[in-house]
Amino acid sequence: MDSQTLSTEQAYEAAFRFVAQYFGREQDSESLELMLIAMEPSADYARTNDPASWSDWLKCVSETLSGEPLPSVGK
């Protein structure tokens, strides 16, 4: 696949789709399901089922663009 640039909104949708496809394989994860419900995009990209999700997303975009280290995940 050729390198392409996504808008902030498209990147959010791609992240949602990525997590949703993972959830499709791991459907016993209630916390993952709750996260997907909260972050589901609405027609207005500044709005999600959980109003904080969009501002959290913008913070993550900003951290990525500024080169912040990735958070450590796992045990």
**Unique residue bearing structure tokens 């501002």:** 55
Q: Terminus-to-terminus CA distance in the chain, angstroms?
A: 34
- The model carries a pTM of 0.73
Name the residue among 73, 24, 44, 46 with its Cα closest to residue 36.
Answer: 24
Q: Print pLDDT tens along the chain (75 aa).
A: 678 898 888 898 889 898 898 888 887 888 888 988 888 887 775 678 887 888 888 899 999 999 999 888 776
Tell me how crowded residue 57 is: count the other CB atoms within 10 A of its CB. 20
